[in-house]
Amino acid sequence: MEKKLYRKTAGKMIGGECAGLADYLNVDVTIVRLVAAILILCAGCGLLAYLIAWIIMPSDVFIAN
């Protein structure tokens, strides 16, 4: 089965990027959210990366099973 990267609508907090990335990498979503928060607060470029991911990543609503 081919893995696809997408935003998850179930279990999302804001846009679903972290939940989709955690599902793709097969890790806990809390770890991905913590890394994203640290990048946003410390590096500043994490917010830009998050917004770009929100725009680029397709939603799981549009992914056909």
Determine the Cα–Cα distance for residues 31 and 50; give it in Å rounded to an integer. 15
pLDDT tier, 56 (very low <50, low <70, confident <90, very high otherwise): confident
Each residue's pLDDT tens digit, 6-16: 777 777 778 78
Each residue's pLDDT tens digit, 36-54: 888 888 877 777 887 888 8
3: which residues sit within 8 A by CB, 6+ positions away? 24
Residue 5 neighbours by CB distance under 10 Å: 14
What is residue 65's predicted lDDT score, i.e. its pLDDT?
Answer: 54
